[in-house]
Structure 1
Amino acid sequence: MNVDISIIIPTLNEKENINELVERIRKSLNDIKYEIIFVDDGSKDGTIEEIEKLKKKYKNIKLIERGSRRGLSSAFLDGVKYSDGKYIVLMDADLQHPPELLKVMYEKALEGYDLVIASRYIKGGKIENWSIIREFISKTAIFIAYIFLPETLKVKDPLSGYFLIKKDLLDNFKVSDPFSYKVLLDILVKVNYNKLIEIPYTFKERKYGRSKLGKKIIFSYLKQVFLLFNISQFIKFYLVGLSGIVINLLALYLLIFYFPFYISSFLAILISIIWNFILNDLFVFKTKKRKFLERFLLFLGGRGLLSKPIQYLSALLLYYIFGINYLLSQFIAIFIAAIINWVFTKGIVYGK
């Protein structure tokens, strides 16, 4: 079957949304070859019966019945297995993801983008009728992703549940947790895509049914971040950083015999940065998309123009404004700089 787009839609008690969703997809993609793959996890409200009616009416609708809750991420993978399209779309069944955006996403794919993300947080995107608490939870979750998974740094909405991806990129793709809800997070960390773009959309208020956001989803997200977090790489990165302190002090000890302190200190810092870069480049980060000189200049700039100034200003702020002990102020400032170094190095210097 020659299909351009396979649209995977996980369902659980979405009977009232199904017919409108299918009709809006049909209008959006009326001149494009597509299929809809519903993956149901044991709906009890008549969702399956509605889909069966639509299957008889339209030949491009498939249904995978799984009988019980097995997780959104595994639903996505099961949908991919049964798909025939060149591109895969994941979207919700609750009409919060506007089907009218599908054609725009496909057009971007034809322009050469491997991954097209419908974004709530770039210019032009917005969310309807969210409480301050829910917005805070969403922004905090993104911040957590940026810190622990810097591969997501270039994306404004790394937790979007609405995206299109080239199917070929999913050949060996496995999710960190089949019960996780944020498939895109796994893709951003694991998939070797080339070109990515975000397009704005309005995240609509749910018309029918109940939102599935709750404590379970929050804990599932934290578990997913932990599973995706490369702990061994993180440890290696900071061991290299500690070795850089030793090199800094050793270089200063040797240079002080030949140069005044202000020159010796500067050269010692530069030598330690070069040392850190070489070790990180050789032993910590295996994926290198940028050229050597570009990586080095970014690495040098990240420390000289970003983390070190922030470290210095943070120490001054904590000591003079908040009255914190000078040693504790310096320690906290070093910790802040260390986090910035990790995020910048992994997300920008060695990012996708």
Structure 2
Amino acid sequence: MLSLVVCTLDEFEAIGGVLRELDQHLQGISHEIIVVDDSADNRTADVVNAYAAEHPQVQLVRRFMASGLSSAAIKGWDVAKGRYLAIMDGDGQHDPALIRMLLEKLSNPDVDVAVASRYLDSTHSGLQGLRHQLSRAGTWLTDVTLGVPLADPLSGCFAMTREWYTQVRRDLSGLGFKILIDVVASGARKPRTAQVPTLLRARAGGESKLDTRVVIDLIALLIEKRTHGRFTAYAFMSGMSMVSALIMQWLSLGALRALSLPLWLTLLLSTGFGLAGRFGITMLMTPRSRRPRNAPELHRQWVTFCLNRWTDVPLITCFALALCIAHCPWAIATLAGVLLAESRYYFGVNAGASA
């Protein structure tokens, strides 16, 4: 009847307790629990496997070099067998008792998606300080952008019918951590929703996933859904990367011109600064679990990045230099060079993927 996906990332301290609570609250309901684990080590997987050895309704799906709750949820739902599909966190913040309440809401044939919503009965969420303020800001931004009829469109605990999932599956982006937005904004029509009130509990293990990447993902996802896929999240992030490189190159070029260096050297050095700006924004858009933890890792990622984009240096420098010699303003010449390098990289990557 029910397939519940629990997504984990380094939550070995909490997942055992979550599974035990679910076992108590789902008694009498035919169900399976699919734990999708993105942890770098085996500690979370070991806890789940030990529990699954005595509880056959629990299964583990490991992902390697993958990140993001949304894509993990889709991975779990794609292998699920249940009539109803649900999701909750594996850190203990969601009360397992909510799942039965959500199923009761879905027993109404006029409901497609049932959500455990903070802010339904009050403005409290169970979060503190900045995290609460960011949650409220994200809720407001989602409401004004998409008009989703939910008190808490950022909720990570909800359930839906298989029919609704089948309808929206093709258009799910799988980006970031706010899978509910993806689910309710990808259908040909708005879903019929029901809500139950909730507050987040104290986290029993793991740590908050909130960082710059989560915020960027949310904005990119909202843009993609608001434009009905005409402007994708990938295009938004690629644009951010290109603009950061261009701004850094313009700023450095303006400063270097004051040193009376040869034009070719000025353009060459500013291109290097542009690559540094692109690398910086890339780090901000990289999930925390895959960011460098120390100087050697940072150096290794910088070298890999430079090897991947090294052709930008001669391409931008030479093209911009040629335009400047032809009396084109240096700002426009640099912009043209960056656009040319971005086009070469984009088509080169796509050609390699096709091959």
State the TM-score, normalized to the length of structure 2. Answer: 0.60
Distance 1:105 1:176, change over 3 A: closer
Distance 1:49 1:124, change over 3 A: same
Q: Is the 8 A contact 2:173 2:182 kept in 1?
A: no
Establish whether residue 16 from structure 1 lines up as the match of residue 13 from structure 2.
yes
What is the SS of the residue equivalent to 1:165? strand
Shift of 1:179: 3.2
Aligned residues: 228
Q: Distance in 2 between matches of 1:158 and 1:49?
A: 33
**Residue of structure 2 in register with 1:258 after alignment:** none
What is the SS of the residue equivalent to 1:57? coil
Establish whether residue 186 from structure 1 lines up as the match of residue 195 from structure 2.
no
Distance 1:30 1:215, change over 3 A: same
What is the SS of the residue equivalent to 2:83? strand
Distance 1:194 1:232, change over 3 A: closer
Match of 1:114 among 112, 115, 127: 112
Residue type of the partner of 1:179?
L
How do 1:225-264 residues align onto structure 2 when only pairs under 5 Å count?
A: 225-230=222-227
The runs of 5 or more residues in structure 2 that have no matched partner are: 232-355
What is the SS of the residue equivalent to 1:118? strand
Where relative contact order (Cα < 8 A, 6+ residues apart) is larger, the structure is 1
Match of 1:5 among 2, 5, 16: 2
Q: What CA deviation, in whole Å up to 9, does each residue of 1:201-249 have, x standing for no partner? A: 1111212221111111111111111111127999xxxxxxxxxxxxxxx
Residue type of the partner of 2:176?
S
Q: What CA deviation, in whole Å up to 9, does each residue of 1:262-290 have, x standing for no partner? A: xxxxxxxxxxxxxxxxxxxxxxxxxxxxx
**Residue of structure 1 in register with 2:152 after alignment:** 157
Distance 1:225 1:163, change over 3 A: same
- Aligned Cα root-mean-square deviation (Å): 2.1
Establish whether residue 170 from structure 1 lines up as the match of residue 165 from structure 2.
yes
Range that drifts further, 108-117 or 14-23: 108-117
**Residue of structure 1 in register with 2:273 after alignment:** none
Q: Distance in 2 between matches of 1:127 and 1:121?
A: 6
Q: Distance in 2 between matches of 1:59 and 1:89?
A: 18
Q: Distance in 2 between matches of 1:82 and 1:190?
A: 20
Q: Distance in 2 between matches of 1:92 and 1:129?
A: 15
Q: Is the 8 A contact 1:42 1:68 kept in 2?
A: no
Q: Distance in 1 between matches of 2:228 and 2:16?
A: 45
How do 1:57-76 residues align onto structure 2 when only pairs under 5 Å count?
A: 57-76=54-73
Establish whether residue 134 from structure 1 lines up as the match of residue 131 from structure 2.
yes
Establish whether residue 206 from structure 1 lines up as the match of residue 203 from structure 2.
yes
Q: Percent identity?
A: 25
Q: Distance in 1 between matches of 2:49 and 2:85?
A: 22
What is the SS of the residue equivalent to 2:175? coil
The runs of 5 or more residues in structure 1 that have no matched partner are: 235-352
Q: Distance in 1 between matches of 2:33 and 2:126?
A: 26
**Runs of 4+ displaced beyond 4 Å:** 231-234
Shift of 1:16: 0.8
State the TM-score, normalized to the length of structure 1. Answer: 0.61
